[in-house]
Chain A
Amino acid sequence: MDNGKGGPDESQAWLKSLGFRFDPFEHLNAADDPHLGEYVVDLDKYLSVWEDCPTLVFAPPGGGKTTLRVYTYRSLWVGRDGLHPFPVQCYLPFATVHENWGETFERDFGRALAYALLLSLSCRPERFTNMTADARRALTNFFYAQLGGELQNRLAVLEQEHAPSVLAEQIDRAYLLPDSPTVESVKLFCAEIRACLPQATAHKTGIDTLDDFINLVVRDLNFQSLHVLIDGADGESNYDPQAAAKQVNRLLEKAARWQEQGIYLKLFLPLEMEEFVASNWHRIHIEWTPALLAKVIEQRVYVASGGNFNSLSGAGGIGLRNVPIEQELAEAVAPLPREIIFIAHRLFEAYKNRSQGAGKLEPEDLNAALKEYRADNEQRHISPAAVSAF
């Protein structure tokens, strides 16, 4: 049961026909999916990513790095043993190698920290309003130094909408926090920041002032530690694993010192970078089998159906009774979750084209999706490393 949550609107009557509240295969980009945190499978293998130590997570493109990163972020926000680690997500393409990479990284990292804190505090404004006046001023200064004029714009969005989720949509949809604050507390938060703004300066801060930042986060905001989740190493088209690994190695040189300060790096990296990453920190590999890929579908179907069923046969007609749909799809695709989501999306498209959204899934929809996937396989880009890795 979805415990009172809403269903599809009129324009998506096909979802209703199939028994879904939303399309579980709509978003091929994991970070765009607001339900991502509910889909994660095989969690017990990756528990160490929540531990207080630097961790390297490797997977091929489309292999689930972003899903795990987003899930880690959201579940860290729920907390652990009474204290909350403060999670920060950074999406930093490492690909472009240039002389000033270090400065660029510092700037982007600082901005990511500022946005993470702004969004987090907008969901839990009492943490800000309960700080001392000096601490509030220091934090506002940090926001202003990192974001400049953008800070005014973001505050304006919060003041107008009173909903951090709207701000998150603009910044990064992966920021989906479990709490919705009251309108009054959001208004107070914005007012308190505005009150501190006239004294704020444009003094730039970078990674060298991370000590100040961690003191602020841990001491003044009562967070236990800082977990920095970094993704996006393969985010650009001119991505070179070896060059990108150089930047990662530079970052990892700081990992030991940061660990002593309660800052834990969690890097979500493409598999082809692994051989170039010189580090003894804990490594996790996200790996997929057809059975696990079938579970990906089952979990999404379960969530999207509001817990009513966990198999596509629940949306299927008589002709799909006793057909192991998920297994057939899983065995047809390259062993990557992005591929299984893609083919499941194709299945729904075939259904809509055939039936105009009436009735249930039928064998011809499944056959059409499999046929199209096989025909398209060569045209779509699937990283050779991803295919040859299995």
Chain B
Amino acid sequence: MTTPKLIPYSAQDFKGRIEEIKLVKDLTAKIASGKRKAEEPNVITFRGIRTMGKTWLALHLKRTILPQIDGVTPLLLGLSATFDPENYIPQGTEKRDDELFADLDKLNAENPTPEEFCVKALKWIAKQLGTTTTEKAEPSELSRWLVRDIKAKYSHKVIALIVDSAFEANWEYLKKLEEYLLVPLAALPNALIILTGRGNAHPWISPYLRIADEQQVKALNCEETEKQVGERLKEIGVTVEKLMDVTGGNPGLNYFFAYSIDWKSASDTIINLLLDIYSEKYTREIRIYFEALCVLDGFNEDEISLMLAKYHNDEKYVKMTDEDKRTVKQKMLETHLVRWKDGKYVMDDTLRRLAGYFLKSHRDNGKWERLHQGAKELYENWAERFPKHAEYFMTKAKYHADALGIISATEVPSSPSGAKPVKIKDAKIKATKKAVRKKTKAKTTKKSKPVQSK
């Protein structure tokens, strides 16, 4: 595997995130001036998938933004190792006393117990702030002393604790950190807590964390992407728009693709990295699921068997049991790259784009066309079976018809047979709509028939 060397955080290379930074600065100002109301959260959560730049944002806030504000003491606690091609360390190798990094995604013999880690974290904060600590102290004592001393010595300062990759840590650690560190701090009027992470929302118990301000870390826009890798794109003769077609503005991927020679190979590598295939956390099987479903704008278990059948070009998958479909769905959910949204499971947009790009760039195997064609036929079938929702399903069918039409119209390599691809006519869609209208009319006519007098 050959990947471009990712660079550790540097303020000069950090681009974008204007809204996120403003949010933090505004809240910090409110806290510092004492104008934050009790019911306004002093906890902000930034969520996003891998490569979206959460750790860079955490580092930028800790090292560049917050130090520029008078009266703020920023601290950074990292709970999980990040996206790691060839031992990439986003924070760099220089050790900083006010930053503590750990890798707590597993609770095992190699890692400290949750209580032990709480003691370590509390002692580290105590050392940074000069608050009370002793050699042998329980986390409850350390927690109490920390709060007492902050109230006594630091009431004029804003104590900003940034916890990076919070949700990737094993939840047993979060349980104890909630009690001994996060809630005690969150209850202080001069504290600011920033959490970054991916995956499902942790079920905090305390209301101080439950009402946190949740933000999604967004992709960079065109202008920000231009600032990030514009120079490089000029060198390789690629426009920002073409890059963003593939990456969607994801900053990690912007960099990857800008510095990759072969995009086909790069997309293959990135997909495997996002799916943790190189670390052997998952097998290539999971990748097949994502590729098979990437053409859909959302799915439930009902779509899984048909899409796999089309992917493999093998009708045996149509007979998958409910249990098998649930297993596929569950495995996908465990990657944290699929979530429930607006009534369906949606794949992370970056991964979906990449998988689609990968399939398109290997279109000689016919998968891309089969998947779209299969989806179109599926939704047309559902429109007939469920006339109440015909419009909803036909809209989805049209999306796939259009996708096939777009491919036909643009410059693409020819199909295996060498014949020029033909634009798919939407005759079938029109026929289905007509049949549905006929059915609906028949029902209406029946209802409005006058009642026969007895």
Contact = CB atoms under 8 A, between A and B. Distances in A.
A17 B323 CA distance: 8
Given A38-B203, A47-B207, 17 more contacts: A1-B199, A3-B170, A3-B171, A37-B205, A43-B211, A44-B207, A79-B184, A79-B206, A80-B206, A81-B187, A82-B147, A307-B201, A311-B340, A319-B389, A321-B300, A321-B389, A322-B392
B206 A319 contact: no
A314 interface: yes
Interface stretch (B155-163, B175-183, B238-246, B422-430): B175-183
A47 B326 contact: no
Interface in A286-329: 303, 307-311, 313-314, 317-319, 321-322
Contacts of A313: 343
Given A310-B340, A314-B300, A82 B203 contact: no
A319 B390 CA distance: 11
A74 interface: yes
B343 A322 contact: yes
B302 A80 contact: no
Nearest to A42: B211
Contacts of B300: 314, 321
Interface in A36-76: 37-38, 40, 43-44, 47-48, 50-51, 74-75
Nearest to B386: A319
| Best-surrounded residue of A51, A74, A318 (most CB of chain B within 10 A) | A318
A17 B206 contact: no
A44 B42 CA distance: 12
Nearest to A306: B200
Interface string B176-217: 001100011001100000000001110101111011000000
A83 B205 CA distance: 16
A47 B184 CA distance: 16
A307 B211 contact: no
A178 interface: yes
B333 interface: yes
A1 B207 contact: no
Given A43-B207, A43-B211, A78-B183, A311 B322 contact: no
B33 to A, nearest CB: 20
B254 interface: no
A12 to B, nearest CB: 15
A179 B47 CA distance: 28
B103 interface: no
Contacts of A19: 326
A82 B322 contact: no
Interface residues on B, range: 35 or more
A148 interface: no
B200 A82 contact: no
A175 B344 CA distance: 36
A317 to B, nearest CB: 7
A359 interface: yes
A78 B205 contact: yes
B179 A178 contact: yes
Contacts of A37: 205
Nearest to A76: B206
Given A38-B203, A78-B179, A1 B340 contact: no
Contacts of B340: 308-311, 314
A313 B203 CA distance: 22
Interface string B360-386: 000000000000000000000010011
B5 interface: no
A178 B343 contact: no
A195 B178 CA distance: 35
Interface string B293-333: 00000001110000000000000000000100010001001
B144 interface: yes
A322 to B, nearest CB: 5
Contacts of A83: 144, 147
B377 to A, nearest CB: 15
Contacts of A74: 205
Nearest to B40: A44
Contacts of B201: 307
B334 A50 contact: no
B147 A43 contact: no
Contacts of B227: none
A82 B144 contact: yes
Interface string B124-150: 000000000000001000011111100
A44 B214 CA distance: 14
Contact of B187 (A17, A44, A80, A309): A80
Given A81-B147, A311-B343, A75 B207 contact: yes
B38 interface: yes
B26 interface: no
B39 interface: yes
